């Protein structure tokens, strides 16, 4: 016992004398791999309170009972491995303390083992080195006294470990910062190279922000309001006005199904467009993105951006659709544009002239089409950013990193469209443990909810319905959503869609739901280039946290412009514009010096689909 009393440790850590001039990564490691922190772990392990108690799990927002013990154990094993590889002159004492701590945690969590407490811990480890024995004796003399102190200590330990683990995932950023600091001390290091290194590190740092979820949680921890008296109301007003100024967005869509029944799309919400395969889900989402940009210019500031990500079609096929939807161009002519210009550029090798102010007719035609289709919608005020990623390789973490990277180029994302949910992967490290789509899709949608709230933006995505939803005798409902009902649980809004070729395009049912004058349709011929390219399109709200669940309207989908309309007059205007632009584009394509055959819409059979393979 005398030996024990003489070996009482001071309160300073073993590695307080850490090497001078170490980098950020090593500095963080040394702060965690200290006797003081490990003493806290031993103290909570010896207290007669359960890691898996209801109160403890609630504090840490942890579901599985073993997670706290696993988190601490994995941390200790990690730092023990790193210490073993280090050259620290006291690493053996520190390793001894870690090994004892691991044994104590094992005894605490193994119900078949004997109970170890403050009273018997010293006697259980009498064969260890005097320094470690002194630490145990010091802890036994300074125990945790109550449950509140125990819960506070557990919370502090777990949050510290979580932050440490997250910081270790961005070690490339930490090392990059150290490298810049070191290079800046060299007299002959080029300033241009230093600036380039700085740019790369900052980009990596932005891309890594999503890894620091603990920091994000801490920043949003004060998300509460208190009302008691006039002073508290003034404080609340200050918080509310700050939120409405900086973090709230509300977009009208010019679709009555959205604007009249759910009051448009607002920030911090997740919206699902659900429908059977090959029923124009993606096209409907492009129409929705266009309308949000077109009808909300007063909502956007310089640098604001709407982002559209596709995980199916490549970015150029997506662009073809966007040109049709945004510009009202005939989809067949747009495909001709790409096919003809491909041959033309290959024959004339014009790619090098793009940045030289060339007057080449092919380049000028492409610039004219893109400007008329997209810039007229954006108004040169808000950016529309489109991105392609391979299916089953893209997660919400990747998405957040992309949005963070956009910040470095001066963009602020104000709305996000993802095509589509079913081919995303989870950001969670245990993704491979999912055996079915039911849990996986729920996990992904929860990540979307978190991103929508953290970025204060609406997120719109797509999912497949079961094939039974094509049955027009069956009313659309959430019961037909594909793969996972967790999509219904976690989405804020769900809009079921499907094409309805069973409805007559000039029927009374359609006239009741559409705005404007239905006699406009009398100006369309009955062939493939007229009414034959119009399809009734059903949209029904099957979930709405705020709004009219159950509202339904029939729209008109134009296979000519890929537009989806609820107003006869807009349908007429865009069809007339499409016809005019098609003639103009056809003439310009035929004037190009190439041999590509141009499509003839009028030669198509009645049953042919001019955009077969493009409609999801």
- Whole-angstrom distance, CA of residue 290 vs CA of residue 565: 12
pLDDT of residue 494: 93
Percent of the chain with pLDDT over 90: 21
Helix (H) or strand (E) holding 208: none
Do 276 and 158 share a structural domain?
A: no
Q: What's the pLDDT score for residue 436?
A: 65
Q: Are residues 325 and 433 in the same domain?
A: yes
Evaluate whether 15 touches 94 at the Cβ level (below 8 Å).
Answer: yes
**Which residues, 6+ apart, have CB-to-CB distance to 116 below 8 Å?**
46, 104, 107, 108, 124
6: pLDDT strictly greater than 50: no
CA-closest candidate to residue 160, choices 298, 225, 68, 86: 68
In this prediction, residues 263-277 reach a mean pLDDT of 92
pLDDT of residue 488: 86
Residue 262 confidence (pLDDT)? 92
DSSP string, 50-104: -TT-HHHHHHHT--STTHHHHHHHHHHHHHHHHHHHS--TTHHHHHHHHHHHHHH
419-425 average pLDDT score: 87
Q: Does 183 fall in a domain?
A: no
At 616, the pLDDT band (50, 70, 90 cuts) reads very low
Domain's final residue, options 115, 135, 169: 169
Find the mean pLDDT for residues 479-488. Answer: 80
Over range 481-510, report the average pLDDT.
87
**Is 259 found in the same domain as 159?**
no
Within a domain: 79:
yes
Identify the residue with better confidence: 349 or 62: 349
For residue 593, the model assigns a pLDDT of: 65
Mean per-residue pLDDT, 17-43: 75
Residue 16 has pLDDT above 80, yes or no: no
Task: Compute CA distances 434 → 219, 421, 443, 545, whole Å.
Answer: 31, 16, 10, 29
Percentage above 70 pLDDT, the chain: 81
310: closest CA among 411, 461, 449? 461
- Structural domain includes residue 538: yes
Confidence class for position 599, pLDDT limits 50, 70, 90: low
Confidence of residue 460 (pLDDT cuts 50, 70, 90): very high
Please determine, for residue 15, whether its predicted confidence score (pLDDT) is greater than 50.
Answer: no
Beta bridge partners of 552: 540
* Residue 222 CB neighbours (<10 A): 8
CATH of the domain at 316: 3.40.50.300
Rounded to two decimals, the pTM is: 0.66
Query: Within this chain, do residues 286 and 431 fall inside the same structural domain, yes or no?
Result: yes
Tokens 């307080």 — which residue? 16
Indicate if the pLDDT at residue 224 is higher than 60: yes
Task: Show the CA angle centred on residue 463, arms to residues 492 and 326, nearest 5°.
Answer: 90
Same domain, 545 and 444: yes
Cα Dmax for the chain: 105
Cβ atoms of residues 131 and 120 within 8 Å = no
Average pLDDT score over residue span 136-153: 88
Question: Does 36 share its domain with 164?
Answer: yes
pLDDT band at 62 (very low <50, low <70, confident <90, very high): very low
**Same-domain status, 159 and 289:** no
For residue 475, tell me if it sits in a domain.
yes
Dist. CA 100–CA 105, nearest whole Å:
9
User: Is there a domain that residue 362 lies in?
Assistant: yes
Residue 430 lies in a domain: yes
Q: Are both 155 and 296 inside the same structural domain?
A: no
Q: Is the separation of the CB atoms in 362 and 368 below 8 Å?
A: no
Residue 25's pLDDT is 72
Q: Which range has highest mean pLDDT (4-13, 64-73, 211-220, 541-550)?
A: 541-550
Please check whether residues 162 and 259 belong to one and the same domain.
Answer: no
pLDDT-wise least confident of 72-81, 295-304, 577-586:
577-586
Residues 275 and 157 in one domain: no
Out of 152, 169, 186, pick the residue that ends a domain: 169
Length of the chain: 616
pLDDT for 180: 81
Could you tell me the two tokens for 429?
Answer: 């490290």
Predicted local distance difference test score (pLDDT) of residue 2: 38
- List pLDDT tens digits, range 101-120: 898 888 877 766 678 888 88
Contact 495, 540 (CB under 8 A): yes
**Element (DSSP H or E) covering residue 90:** none
In which band, very low, low, confident or very high, does the pLDDT at 528 lie, cut at 50, 70 and 90?
A: low
Task: Calculate the average pLDDT of the chain.
Answer: 79
Give the range with max mean pLDDT: 431-445, 581-595, 599-613.
581-595
pLDDT of amino acid 428: 67
194 Cβ neighbours under 8 A, 6+ residues apart: 180, 183, 184
* Cα 174 from Cα 185, distance rounded (Å): 17
* Full domain range(s) for residue 92: 2-169
Q: Total structural domains in the chain?
A: 2
Residues 156 and 52 in one domain: yes
Instruction: Tell me if 246 is assigned to some domain.
Output: no
Cβ atoms of 553 and 269 closer than 8 Å: no
Has residue 308 got a pLDDT over 90? yes
- Tell whether 156 and 262 lie within a shared domain: no
How confident is the model at residue 349, as a pLDDT? Answer: 66
What pLDDT score does 51 carry? Answer: 67
Q: How confident is the model at residue 614 (pLDDT cuts 50, 70, 90)?
A: very low
Q: What is the DSSP code (8-state) at residue 143?
A: -
- How do residues 322-373 score in pLDDT, each as one tens digit? 999 999 888 988 998 898 888 888 877 655 555 545 677 888 888 889 998 9
- Is 50 exceeded by the pLDDT of residue 424? yes
Please check whether residue 114 lies inside any domain of the structure.
yes
Give the domain-ending residue among 140, 169, 198: 169
| Residue 428 CA neighbour count, 13 Å, CB half | 16
- Which of 166-175, 204-213, 486-495, 514-523 has the lowest average pLDDT? 204-213
Residue 5 scores a pLDDT above 50: no
Angle at 468 between CA 467 and CA 473, to 5 degrees: 140
What band does 230 get if pLDDT is binned at 50, 70 and 90? Answer: confident
Pick the more confident residue, 217 or 51: 51
More confident residue, 530 or 407: 407
Helix, strand, or coil (residue 271) = strand
């Amino acid at each position: 016992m005398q030996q024990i009393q003489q070996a009482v440790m001071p309160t300073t850590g073993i590695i307080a004398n850490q090497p001078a001039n170490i980098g950020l990564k090593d500095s963080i490691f040394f702060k965690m791999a200290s006797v003081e922190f490990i003493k806290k772990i031993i103290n909570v392990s010896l207290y007669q309170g359960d890691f898996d108690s209801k109160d403890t799990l609630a504090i840490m927002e942890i579901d599985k009972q073993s997670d706290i013990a696993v988190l601490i154990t994995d941390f200790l094993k990690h730092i023990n491995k790193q210490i073993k590889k280090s050259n620290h002159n006291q690493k053996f004492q520190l390793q001894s303390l870690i090994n004892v701590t691991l044994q104590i945690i094992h005894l605490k969590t193994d119900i078949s083992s004997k109970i170890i407490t403050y009273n018997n811990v010293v006697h259980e480890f009498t064969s260890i080195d005097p320094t470690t024995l002194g630490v145990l004796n010091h802890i036994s003399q300074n125990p945790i006294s109550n449950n509140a102190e125990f819960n506070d200590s557990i919370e502090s330990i777990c949050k510290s470990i979580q932050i440490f683990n997250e910081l270790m995932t961005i070690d490339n950023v930490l090392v990059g910062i150290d490298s810049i600091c070191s290079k800046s001390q060299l007299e002959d290091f080029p300033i241009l190279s230093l600036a380039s290194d700085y740019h790369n590190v900052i980009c990596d740092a932005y891309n890594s922000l999503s890894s620091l979820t603990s920091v994000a949680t801490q920043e949003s921890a004060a998300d509460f309001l208190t009302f008691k008296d006039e002073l508290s109301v003034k404080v609340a007003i200050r918080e509310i006005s700050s939120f409405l100024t900086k973090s709230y967005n509300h977009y009208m869509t010019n679709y009555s199904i959205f604007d009249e029944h759910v009051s448009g799309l607002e920030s911090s919400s997740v919206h699902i467009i659900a429908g059977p395969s090959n029923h124009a889900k993606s096209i409907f989402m492009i129409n929705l993105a266009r309308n949000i940009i077109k009808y909300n210019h007063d909502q956007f500031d310089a640098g604001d951006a709407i982002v559209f990500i596709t995980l199916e079609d490549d970015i150029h096929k997506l662009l073809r659709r966007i040109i049709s939807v945004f510009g009202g161009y005939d989809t067949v002519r747009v495909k001709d544009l790409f096919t003809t210009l491909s041959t033309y550029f290959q024959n004339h090798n014009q790619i090098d002239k793009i940045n030289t102010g060339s007057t080449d007719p092919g380049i000028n035609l492409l610039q004219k089409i893109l400007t008329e289709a997209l810039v007229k919608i954006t108004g040169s005020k808000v950016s529309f950013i489109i991105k392609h990623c391979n299916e089953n390789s893209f997660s919400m973490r990747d998405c957040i990193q992309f949005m963070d990277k956009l910040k470095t180029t001066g963009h602020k994302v104000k709305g996000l469209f993802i095509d589509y949910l079913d081919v995303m992967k989870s950001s969670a490290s245990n993704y491979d443990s999912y055996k079915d789509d039911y849990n996986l899709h729920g996990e992904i949608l929860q990540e979307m909810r978190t991103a929508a709230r953290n970025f204060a933006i609406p997120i719109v995505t797509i999912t497949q319905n079961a094939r039974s939803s094509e049955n027009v005798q069956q009313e659309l409902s959430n019961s037909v959503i594909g793969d996972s009902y967790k999509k219904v649980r976690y989405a804020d809004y769900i809009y079921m869609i499907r094409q309805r070729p069973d409805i007559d395009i000039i029927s009374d049912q359609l006239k009741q739901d559409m705005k404007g004058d239905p006699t406009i349709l009398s100006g369309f011929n009955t062939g493939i280039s007229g009414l034959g390219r119009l399809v009734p399109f059903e949209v029904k709200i099957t979930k709405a946290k705020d709004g009219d669940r159950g509202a339904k309207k029939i729209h008109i989908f134009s296979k000519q412009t890929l537009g989806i309309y609820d107003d006869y007059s807009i349908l007429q205007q865009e069809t007339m514009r499409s016809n005019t632009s098609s003639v103009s584009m056809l003439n310009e394509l035929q004037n190009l010096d190439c041999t590509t055959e141009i499509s003839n819409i009028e030669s198509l059979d009645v049953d042919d689909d001019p955009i077969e393979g493009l409609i999801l």
